[in-house]
Structure 1
Amino acid sequence: MGAIFAGGLCSGGAVLSTSAQAEVPYFEDAVASGELPPMLDRLPEHPKVIDFDAEDKTVGKYGGQFVTIMGRSKDIRMAVVYGYARLIGYDENLDLKPDILESLDVNDEGNVFTLHLRKGHKWSDGEPFTAEDFRYYWEDIVNNDELFPVGPPRFLFVGDEPATFEILDEFTVRYSWSQPNPFFLTELAGTRPPFIYRPAHYLKQFHENYRDAAELDAMVKERGLRSWAVLHTDIDRPYKLSNIDRPSLEPWLITTEEPSDRFVFVRNPFYHRVDPAGNQLPYIDKMIFNIANSKLVPAKVGAGEVDLQSRILSLKDYTFLKQAEPQQNYNVRLWDVGAGAYAALYPNLTCSDPVWRGVLRDVRFRRALSLAINRTEINRVMFFGLAQPTNNTVLPKSPLYKPEYRENYIQFDVDKANALLDEMGLDERNGDGIRLLPDGRPMEIIVETTGENPEHDDMLELVGDSWRQVGIKMFVKGLQREVLRNRAYTGETIMSIFNGIDNGLATPNSVPSEFVPVQQDTLQWPKWGQYYQTDGEAGEAPDMPAAKELMVQYRKWQTGNDAARMAAWQSILDINSENMFSIGLIGNVPQPVVVDKDMRNVPEKGIHSWEPGAFFGIYRPDTFWWDR
């Protein structure tokens, strides 16, 4: 790999002004009273300087708050997503750059990673952020049998080999393996980060290795918990943000305890990023998450109740939001999306019904289903013609893209679909014109849906009409997401509809797990994924030639150099394209993004993507500011 990710004062070409600006107004009183040190003493020795030239941003002003709406209180975790403070993270070009880290060294073999922290970087309570916080995570959390009975997360293993963790000095740690670990960096940059560091100084008071047993037991009993381990886990939760006292490295700190319908986040006085003029970020003092019923969100947005909103909005809201635009102080922008498809059908190749399993595993059947879908009609009826018929695959902006990946078997061709089904021997029909399965049952496919996206249900109605033309009858069954997943895992589900792949912007170094049977929650082959994740203790081993070849290519991707990873990725995508393991319906459905007219540094055009991208995260909301 031979990569050295440079950070520090001039990370990414940014230049830090030698004359830092005045104190953040929000903290002036606290500094004057001695409650907080001055800004320059709160920053790391070498803060992270955001390159405003590269990101087309302007130096802003301090102050104000911005309001957005979430559909449920558990979505306060989106503050971690939007804040996107990571050890290393993606920039707007989807290149990995140091962020919390000052720099990162990777050896040529890709199996030794040396992490350099920023000297003087502090947690939000002013305590130093050091190698000890990494040691505590490794030794006292994930290698503690009571806190992590199954051991460290899988990305910290290569095969069965766990990481070798070393502290080189107070600000340098190293993770190494005997073989390359291609998962490590992408995991650190993930939208949901692994937090391989924890505030040791704070959490030790809840750990049996550092607290008097009687005192700890009293704390456990006072909260009515089972053990110190449950207490420690409840107190920690860096992603769920359920503990407002836990120190953080995020740009904004939660101040509101659940339950609430309004969550307030305030700026972190020890945050590590600055603008080119030396101003400590974020510019905006407070972030407000209001909780509202999802069905009411478009109306609230149209009434001008938010400053920045994309969550819970969809293209069907666009016309209404644009109509309200002249009366409100906002603009509606349409961003591209990073998902491989807006929706896809997932035939369950590991379903328990032996007859359906045999039919679904015949590639001719999956191709026939795809050819019997009128995607142009879906686009015209539901998306104003603004979307694009597509398979469930990588996007044109991905370096792995080939046109055939999107276009194979998506043309609407009833004659060809009928011919493929007849060729399979499924040429007998009942009196209603419905084809018969090999055991004589009518070919009635139950497609299960979570009901979370009404547009999925509307699409299924159109798909059902066109499938009827080839002698297939569809029934739709709405279930809660967890119920649907559990049914798929046990083989009860024949077919489901869900979102397309998250990472349509994959690169050769992206983990190809969405295209290979290595995860139980991939709905086209859950039992194969379970088999991989449990090392063969549960589920079923892949027994289709194409699936076996996918696993061969996945191993080549894991162990190869850059060229080998590229070749493995292309083979994986070629196999998926020819085999139609999932059936994409429509893609490139633009995402409405509502932005207050006075908010600056929000891109006019962006990519709205969970992974990679963290929705607004790669555009750095800590640099957004009010021009009022």
Structure 2
Amino acid sequence: MTMSDFSTITRRQMLALLGSAAGTAVMSGTAFAAYSQSDFVATISPDQPLPPVDERLPKVPRVLKLSERGLLPGKHGGTMRMLIGGQRDIRYMPINCYSRLVGYNPQLQLEADILEAYEVKDERVFTFHLREGHKWSDGTPFTTEDFRYVWEDVFHEKKLARGGPPTSLLINGKAPRFEVIDERTVRYSWDDPNPDFLADQASPSPTRLMFPANYLKQFHVKYQTKEILNQYIKKFKVDDWAAVHQRMSRTVRPENPELPTLDAWRSRTEPPAERFVFDRNPYYHRVDEDGRQLPYIDRVLLDVSSADLIAAKTGTGESDLQITNLDFADYTFLKGAEKRYSLEVDLWKRTQGSRMALFPNLNCKDDVWRKVLWDKRFRRAMSLAINRGEINKAVFYGLAKESANAILPESPLFKPEYRDAWAAFDPAKANALLDEAGLPMDEDTGLRKLPDGRPATIIVEITGENSFETDVLELLTDQFREIGLRIFPHVSQRELLRRRVKGGDAIMSVGIGLDNGVPTADMSPKELAPTSDDQLQWCIWGLHTLSGGGDGHPPELEEAISLLNLYDDWRKAEGHDQRAEIWHKMLALFTDQVFSIGIVNATLQPIVRTRKLKNLPEKALYGFDPTSYLGVYLPDAFWYEESA
């Protein structure tokens, strides 16, 4: 009997063949007479056949009842091709796979995923129950030892975590108590509420609570000899064993094919490469309502291409599913390609608070400019000087929504006043505000002067990665000229731009607005306060929070301090209503102060797929957070109507 013969064999038949007692798989009252698997499994290890499917699945797998979600149960098989703009873009795979301890469904409600169940008490005590028999992609058991390893041997190993547990786990500066209850149960407890804990675990890039300990111990000084560690150090040309461990445990970019995973597909390619192959995980924990082990699709190929050519290649059928490196400007061309190739082009709504926003650098080194930027009248004036209607029509074909950098109507927290805060086109009021702020107009040049007499000329840092940024800045140049401000774009690579912002050399930069424009009250409002060094308007203040006070410096602007205090209040709040109240206070303050200057949101994102690919929604929300791009739409349930 071959492995392909096992694809639909019952557990009773299999155990009989092995001379064991019979059994039946049961999940939430659903009994399967048999699980089934892809024929591809037989090719994974032909010399040493893998165990039958029911022995590779957890005793209680996660069952996706696709018909209840409006999806079609599918069939196994096929390879899905996608294009990426560089090797670093393999980072999209763990985001799109979206295997999480708990995750969001399309309605942004939390559901147990890797966990069989979880319990929350007073938002202080979180008990996680693992699935019996769950295994990593290499077949080793996934148990509470994988959590203990991270807690004790990573978070509390100075070489790997200099500051101890990550700040995302600290409440009022205190880390949780961690307990291993038994082989399948762990508990995290805080003295004060931690309402962000589960939302963080459901995010695109969650705090990593578990590692495949059985694999990684070979790179840890506690479990490995110095002689072998020195061999690894020499092999990878790094400084110490900690650098080896970090390299081999990296999950954000799956560059180590040997690292076991719980995702639907596992990396098979080590960089550098022009094509990255991801094969199905034969131990994946999800099945459909008919007992078919997911994912349906056997293999995902990520082909590296020039980012500028991806739209053209997609339009000639070189990608089976393309969601990145496309923009609305490509829509007409891609829609035309439907007539020549077996493609369908859908439009999803982007979730960012603004498709493009201006970020005054409140931490810039220039003392005069810093004082100007701290003045809310200046920030409000710049926002009022923008003719968003003109930009919407000229650049976004009139299909976007003119808005401050604010949340979208799809969020239950939405209020029109957040969208409209200082977003009307009113150059007369803008001029009056600049007069009040002490930036007089030079009648000879028609330009305003800074308090020290210099012309109010703003260098705006941009990456130039998107052509629409340049188009928008051309229009903004004329619009700001009407209020006596002159702007000049300065194009630099993304890393250099961030370095200039963090170093205080930049006065203003361009970026995307709020990542999560569709929050609920139970999601963290950290984007509204200085909490990260990625925030272009106050990265040094954000670094101070992110580092737990070990780096950067605390905010000095009263309103920024208030936002940070409100964020702390949200983390201590008890219950949905309290959190919603704090969210509204933060949204009102954030939009009224115009800490970032939004232009339009609700822009449309082309999603291109081959017509054979099923279960991809025609309309959906597109964004990093909270949907994890494709993640909440279950890519493991995508399938081909015909073998592809």
TM-score scaled by length of structure 1:
0.95
1:4 maps to which residue?
Answer: none
Q: Is the 8 A contact 2:360 2:373 kept in 1?
A: yes
Q: 1:530 to 1:227 in 2, by over 3 A?
A: closer
Equivalent residues in 2 for 1:195-594 (5 A)? 195-562=208-575, 563-594=577-608
Q: Report the 3-state secondary structure (helix = DSSP H, G, I; strand = E; otherwise coil) of the residue aligned with 2:211.
A: coil
Deviation of the 1:312 alpha carbon? 0.2
Alpha-carbon deviations, 1:78-108, whole Å to 9, x = none?
1111111111111111111110000111102
Distance 2:48 2:456 in 1: 75
1:94 maps to which residue?
Answer: 108
Distance 2:567 2:211 in 1: 32
Q: Report the 3-state secondary structure (helix = DSSP H, G, I; strand = E; otherwise coil) of the residue aligned with 2:446.
A: coil
Distance 1:601 1:581 in 2: 40
Counterpart AA for 2:104:
Y
Q: Is the 8 A contact 1:206 1:232 kept in 2?
A: yes
Q: Report the 3-state secondary structure (helix = DSSP H, G, I; strand = E; otherwise coil) of the residue aligned with 1:500.
A: coil
Deviation of the 1:53 alpha carbon? 2.9
Distance 1:476 1:31 in 2: 55
Q: 1:516 to 1:30 in 2, by over 3 A?
A: closer
Q: 1:73 to 1:206 in 2, by over 3 A?
A: same
Counterpart AA for 2:499:
N
Q: Report the 3-state secondary structure (helix = DSSP H, G, I; strand = E; otherwise coil) of the residue aligned with 1:420.
A: helix
Q: Is the 8 A contact 2:216 2:245 kept in 1?
A: yes
Q: Is the 8 A contact 2:171 2:194 kept in 1?
A: yes
Q: Which moved more, 1:338-347 or 1:552-561?
A: 552-561
Q: Is the 8 A contact 2:255 2:269 kept in 1?
A: no
Distance 1:215 1:350 in 2: 46
Match of 1:74 among 85, 88, 95: 88
Q: Report the 3-state secondary structure (helix = DSSP H, G, I; strand = E; otherwise coil) of the residue aligned with 1:327.
A: coil
Q: Report the 3-state secondary structure (helix = DSSP H, G, I; strand = E; otherwise coil) of the residue aligned with 1:326.
A: coil
Counterpart AA for 1:309:
Q
Distance 1:30 1:459 in 2: 50
Q: Which moved more, 1:566-575 or 1:48-57?
A: 48-57
2:9 maps to which residue?
Answer: none
Q: Is the 8 A contact 1:516 1:550 kept in 2?
A: yes
Q: Report the 3-state secondary structure (helix = DSSP H, G, I; strand = E; otherwise coil) of the residue aligned with 1:502.
A: coil
Does 2:153 correspond to 1:130? no
Counterpart AA for 2:414:
Y
Counterpart AA for 2:495:
E
1:5 maps to which residue?
Answer: none
Q: Is the 8 A contact 2:173 2:548 kept in 1?
A: no
Q: Is the 8 A contact 2:615 2:639 kept in 1?
A: yes
Q: 1:20 to 1:346 in 2, by over 3 A?
A: same
Q: Is the 8 A contact 1:31 1:38 kept in 2?
A: no
Alpha-carbon deviations, 1:322-347, whole Å to 9, x = none?
11111010110000111111010111
Alpha-carbon deviations, 1:298-320, whole Å to 9, x = none?
11001011110010000000011
Deviation of the 1:27 alpha carbon? 2.0
Distance 1:507 1:179 in 2: 21
**Alignment RMSD:** 1.8
Q: 1:367 to 1:28 in 2, by over 3 A?
A: same
2:633 maps to which residue?
Answer: 619
Q: Which moved more, 1:321-330 or 1:445-454?
A: 445-454
Q: Which moved more, 1:444-453 or 1:535-544?
A: 535-544
Deviation of the 1:518 alpha carbon? 2.2
Q: Is the 8 A contact 1:301 1:309 kept in 2?
A: yes
Q: Report the 3-state secondary structure (helix = DSSP H, G, I; strand = E; otherwise coil) of the residue aligned with 1:369.
A: helix
Q: Which moved more, 1:524-533 or 1:191-200?
A: 524-533
Alpha-carbon deviations, 1:507-565, whole Å to 9, x = none?
11211111112222211122322333344454343233322221221221111112221
Deviation of the 1:599 alpha carbon? 0.7
Counterpart AA for 2:444:
G
Deviation of the 1:171 alpha carbon? 0.4
Q: Is the 8 A contact 1:556 1:564 kept in 2?
A: no
Counterpart AA for 2:253:
K
TM-score scaled by length of structure 2:
0.93
Alpha-carbon deviations, 1:405-451, whole Å to 9, x = none?
11122121222222222233433315221111222111111111122
Equivalent residues in 2 for 1:41-56 (5 A)? 41-56=55-70
Counterpart AA for 1:18:
F
Alpha-carbon deviations, 1:209-236, whole Å to 9, x = none?
2223333333333443322222222221
Deviation of the 1:294 alpha carbon? 0.4
Distance 2:309 2:48 in 1: 45
Q: Report the 3-state secondary structure (helix = DSSP H, G, I; strand = E; otherwise coil) of the residue aligned with 1:570.
A: helix
Q: 1:38 to 1:321 in 2, by over 3 A?
A: same
1:27 maps to which residue?
Answer: 41
Q: 1:464 to 1:166 in 2, by over 3 A?
A: same
Distance 1:178 1:540 in 2: 27
Deviation of the 1:68 alpha carbon? 0.5
Q: Is the 8 A contact 2:348 2:622 kept in 1?
A: yes
Q: 1:548 to 1:221 in 2, by over 3 A?
A: closer
Deviation of the 1:577 alpha carbon? 1.7
Counterpart AA for 1:460:
L
Match of 1:18 among 11, 19, 32: 32
Deviation of the 1:589 alpha carbon? 1.0
Q: 1:521 to 1:239 in 2, by over 3 A?
A: closer
Which sections of structure 1, spanning at least 5 residues, go unmatched? 1-7
Distance 2:229 2:456 in 1: 61
Alpha-carbon deviations, 1:253-288, whole Å to 9, x = none?
111121111111111110000000010000011101
Does 2:128 correspond to 1:115? yes
Does 2:78 correspond to 1:64? yes
Alpha-carbon deviations, 1:9-40, whole Å to 9, x = none?
667xxx74522344421124669976111111
Counterpart AA for 1:45:
K
Q: Report the 3-state secondary structure (helix = DSSP H, G, I; strand = E; otherwise coil) of the residue aligned with 1:487.
A: helix
Q: Report the 3-state secondary structure (helix = DSSP H, G, I; strand = E; otherwise coil) of the residue aligned with 1:611.
A: coil
